Structure 1
Amino acid sequence: MNSPHRFFLLPAIGLAVVLTAHPAQAQSRVGEAAMVKNEVLRVAAATTPINVGDALLRDETVRTGLESAARLVMADSTNLSLGPNASLKLDRTVFDDEHHYRDVAVRLTSGAFRFVTGHSEKAAYKITTPLATIGVRGTVLDILSQRGRSVVVLQDGAASVCTTSQQCVQLTQPGDTAIITSTGGKVSISKTNTPPWTFAATCSQAAGLCTVTQFADATPVGDDPAGMLCGR
């Protein structure tokens, strides 16, 4: 018997295949990989390599391997540089429009990072480590997240750094540094203007790692990604 519905069956199946075969495309694209050195991975339902120009999606983790590095450019032109053995999660992103966030949260789990704010309102940014919450105001920050220790160094702008128990210090001058430590379950925070560490040494180990580019320039053109890495 010929069913009047049979002509709709194959298109419906095809649509179902398209929707299930590429679930990542349905997720929010929040940025791109602008620079990649050696092993850089996205950790989601499966672990896959990240290459220059690949999209970054909300709620996924990015991880670098030994002697590896990456620079990510978010949709609002925030630049996030990762050193070796670093891991971060793009925890939450709420857009005001295509190139501005109303709310963006980045969780720096482990490793060394440089964070350069983009075009969103500064109150929109929330950066966390396992020991600290960082609020930014027009800021370039170097952040080191280790087991039992976080270091936040202000390079430009201003920032507020608080422990999970709401002990806070204000970073207002270049070189101001918050050091958060956890010993025996007790978390403490101190401030100094003599940083014990900065991201500068990591910058020199990978070309383009600490270059700052706009999101509109993040995707390589043709076969010449080098221009993008130089901030062209």
Structure 2
Amino acid sequence: MRRLSAALAVSAALATPALAEPAIGSAATIEKDVRGEIAERAAAKLTVGDEIFAQEVLLTGAESRGKFVFQDRTDLQIGPSSRVKLDNFVYSGENGVTFSAAKGVFRFVSAPAGHKDYVVRTPNATIGVRGTAFGVRVVFGRTDVVLYDGAVEVCSILGGLCRTLASACTFVTVTGDFVTQPQPLGREDWSFDDSCGGAGQRAARTYRAGPVFYPGAGGLASGGGGVGHPLVSPN
């Protein structure tokens, strides 16, 4: 597989830093150009079944996307032209799990109740998560967060202002030090997919992908299996 080939291609000294990081999950769905970058190595193409590691950077090309399932059954779906780093992954003790989403579009479905807290960081916002599903778009100095299930707290990094999303199909936008009040998702507002029915049609007009099977049980909203129609665009 990808990791074995990479290990054979470099010296043991270079391989040690990457091998020291634990595997935290694997790729469940890959479409077109999805890559993983570890330490100082160049980004390598990912295929279904490849392991992913703490501190790895995941990147997608234009019209590319991937779904990654972690050891605690959390899943992360990444849309086109996106970049996310898998920062801190500790499933026990005092620490939780942290993603850094630099740009692009994402859909996050956290593990079943009872697992660790997750924090998603963007260049201008932090999103506190436990037991929920939501979409994130990071583009042109703004962060849009759409809630599909559960609850999240969204805070501006600059000003510290926080808002809580607690109703499905509501959203906030973070720009600078300001976070908008939660409001219902409208037809012209961004959404990662069609979880909110007729809302979020702006994304549908921009880019519609074909159906993708996600393995597991329980459907997309629960992080399990089903057929989804991702509607994704960073524009």
Specify the TM-score bucket, using the shorter chain as the normaliser.
0.7 to 0.9
- Which structure has the larger Rg over C-alpha atoms? 1
Asked if 1:48 corresponds to 2:44, the answer is yes
Alpha carbons of 1:230 and 1:102: their partners in 2 closer, same or farther (altered >3 Å)? farther
Q: Match of 1:13? A: none
What are structure 2's unaligned runs of at least 5 residues?
A: 1-9, 194-202, 218-224, 229-235
CA contact (8 A) 2:153 2:162 kept: yes
Measured against aligned partners, the alpha-carbon deviations of 1:15-55 in whole angstroms (never above 9, x if no partner) come to: xx985364333321011010000001112222111111001
Whole-Å separation in 1 of the counterparts to 2:14 and 2:115:
37
Q: Match of 2:141? A: 148
Amino acid at match of 1:81: Q
Q: Match of 2:80? A: 84
TM-score, normalised to structure 1's length?
Answer: 0.75
Residues paired across the two proteins, number = 194
Structure (1 or 2) with the greater strand fraction: 1
Q: Report the alpha carbon displacement of residue 80 of structure 1 after superposing the two structures with TM.
A: 0.3
CA contact (8 A) 1:76 1:120 kept: no
CA contact (8 A) 1:32 1:72 kept: yes
Alpha carbons of 1:87 and 1:120: their partners in 2 closer, same or farther (altered >3 Å)? farther
Alpha carbons of 1:206 and 1:160: their partners in 2 closer, same or farther (altered >3 Å)? same
3-state DSSP of counterpart to 1:52: coil
Amino acid at match of 1:108: A
Q: Match of 1:96? A: 92
Aligned counterpart for 2:179 among listed residues 189, 202, 207: 189
Q: Match of 2:155? A: 162
Alpha carbons of 1:213 and 1:128: their partners in 2 closer, same or farther (altered >3 Å)? farther
TM-score, normalised to structure 2's length?
Answer: 0.74
Q: Match of 1:61? A: 57
Aligned counterpart for 1:28 among listed residues 22, 45, 66: 22
Asked if 1:205 corresponds to 2:195, the answer is no
CA contact (8 A) 1:112 1:144 kept: yes
Computed over aligned residues only, the root mean square deviation of the Cα atoms, in angstroms, reads: 2.7
What are structure 1's unaligned runs of at least 5 residues?
A: 1-16, 215-227
Aligned counterpart for 1:138 among listed residues 131, 152, 157: 131
3-state DSSP of counterpart to 2:28: strand
Q: Report the alpha carbon displacement of residue 208 of structure 1 after superposing the two structures with TM.
A: 2.8
Q: Report the alpha carbon displacement of residue 95 of structure 1 after superposing the two structures with TM.
A: 2.5
Alpha carbons of 1:188 and 1:199: their partners in 2 closer, same or farther (altered >3 Å)? same
Whole-Å separation in 1 of the counterparts to 2:227 and 2:183:
33
